[in-house]
Every structure is written in structure tokens, then in C-alpha cells.
Structure 1
Amino acid sequence: MSHVDPALVDVRTLAAHPLVSNGESSRLRMVAPGSVTAGRYGLVEYHLAPHSPGAAPHVHRTFSESFYVLSGELTVHHAGSWDPLAPGDFALVHEGGAHGFRNDGDEWATFLILFAPGIARERFFLELAELRRSGRTLTPEQMTAFYARHDQEMVDG
């Protein structure tokens, strides 16, 4: 009979990962950041207000990003166009794939974002939220450096 190690199961209650504001038009919950998953993946629950821009087209070189729509409608950029995704729809963006998202609908869109491997993507969201809350505006050069620090290269879309 094998030994079962209870430390190999990590349960996080809702209180451990509260929904936080990411500016006026979005909220997010760090369900399973890379620091919790030993870098295997990162899971974020994202809420985007109606008619909100979300993320402009960009690429990541070192991790994949997946989107799973829970409610509302999420418009996702891929293959050079913007297409709506409904609840239950899924999009996988491989490393180097140009993508973006926005909410063109009349209700909040709620979706999961999965990063693999679980790089410290939560730092990107936390820093971005702090910038939005502070009202501080970065120069184009500072924004490029910010994105580069987080493996995000903006592209035309």
C-alpha cells in the first residue's frame, strides 16, 4: 500500500483569492497563481464590463494563454480578426500567437484565463491595476518596457 501525502492537495477557499478591481472596467481573481501551482500553470478569473477594450492584440513568447468563457460574450482577436465567443467557448493561444480580447456586449463577460507554464503573470495584473488606480500615465517607452518585463509584445490588430 502506498503512502498518501495530504500536503499534495492544496485547497484554496474563496477568501484566499478575492475578486479585486483592475480599474473601472475589470475585476479579477487570482484563482491559482504560478506561485501556488509550482509554476505549472496560472489560473485567473476575469470580469470585463460591457463595451470595454480589454487587451489590445499582443503576443507572448514564453507561455501559452487559454480563454474559457463562463458568462456574457467575449470578443477575441485571432487570425487577424475579432470574433465573439459565448459561454462554453474556448480559445487556446500558443506561444507567439497574436491575440487580444474585449467585451463588445451589453453585459459583463466572465471568463477564465489559463497560463502555461505558470509564470508570475499575476505580477503583470497587479502592476497594471496599481497603474490604473494611481492614475499615473506611462510614456510610450515606459509602457514598452513594462510589457517587455512581462513577456508581452504589442502588435497591430
Structure 2
Amino acid sequence: MSDIINFGSLQLRFLHSKEDTAGSVDIFEMTLQPNARMPIPHYHDRWDETIYGLGGISTWTIDGQEIEVRPGESVFIKRGVVHGFTNRSAGPATCLCILSPGVLGPQYFKEMAALLSAGAPPDPAKMKETMLRYGLVPAPPA
């Protein structure tokens, strides 16, 4: 499987999903262009997430703490912990994302890409509804 999903300054390439792992894991490669960020910090209570740096430097804010992930480094995000990410560097940053168990799949990202590429400013209510439907809970503003 190699689904590639582009939206905004993010590109995801699914390597395995809940469909082909019987729900064991979702594994995808994510490339963040400079200044790319997760627009809405969130948490999920149905899966854990491991991020492994492949190239460049991405900055992950996990439970309020900023952690730079460089090639060969990793972070573990336990379910229920608020997190987000950004790429503050001048070049792309790529990481491998592993969700366990696999309950998300590429469809969530395809739906979000459609919302973000509709030509008009994204509708926050539709984004929140999509996130909640897939088990991502937007964090309240700080």
C-alpha cells in the first residue's frame, strides 16, 4: 500500500493501515514543509503514537513540552496526551508515524485534505466534526 495524500504543506504516504494490518497499526511517512504545523492541537484516547525522525527537524509539543525530533530520534505520545507539531526549519522535515492500534487509516487525512483544499478558508466547525468522528479531540485553547 502506498497512498499519498497532499494537503497544504503536509504530505503523507501510507505504508500500512488498519485495513491491511487487521487493526494492529497505521504506519505512514509524513513530510512537513517549512512552517508547516498541526493547525489544531489534539489528543486521541483510542491509540498511542510514536514519531521517528527520518530527515530534517520537526518540533512536537507534547503535554506542553517542546521536543525537537531529528533523524534517528523518536518520541512516544501516550493516548490522552495533547500534542501538535510544527516545522520551524528552513527545509522539509520527514518522520515515520506509527499509530497503535491502527484505528485511523488514510480516510481521515483524505477528508481533512478535502476540507483544506476547498478553495475557501477552512470551516472550523467541519474540521472539528471530522476530527471527532475519527477519534481526534481538539484541545481547548490555552
Give TM-score, length-normalised by structure 1: 0.81
SS at match of 1:119: coil
Preserved CA contact (<8 Å) 2:19 2:105:
no
Give the number of aligned pairs: 141
- Partners in 1 of 2:54 and 2:78 — Cα distance? 21
Which one-letter code corresponds to 1:21 in the other structure?
Answer: N
1:59 equivalent among 43, 50, 53: 43
Which one-letter code corresponds to 1:88 in the other structure?
Answer: G
Structure 1: gaps of 5 or more residues = 1-15
Larger Rg: 1
The equivalences for 1:16-27 within 5 A come to 16-23=1-8, 25-27=9-11
Residues 145 and 20 of structure 1: is their aligned pair in 2 closer, same or farther, counting only changes over 3 Å? closer
Preserved CA contact (<8 Å) 1:35 1:120:
no
Preserved CA contact (<8 Å) 1:61 1:151:
yes
What fraction of aligned residue pairs are identical, expressed as a percent? Answer: 28
Structure 2: gaps of 5 or more residues = none
2:105 equivalent among 121, 137, 157: 121
| Partner residue, 2:32 | 48
The equivalences for 1:127-146 within 5 A come to 127-146=111-130
Which one-letter code corresponds to 1:118 in the other structure?
Answer: G
- Partners in 2 of 1:94 and 1:132 — Cα distance? 27
Deviation at 1:18, TM superposition (A): 4.8
| Partner residue, 1:38 | 22
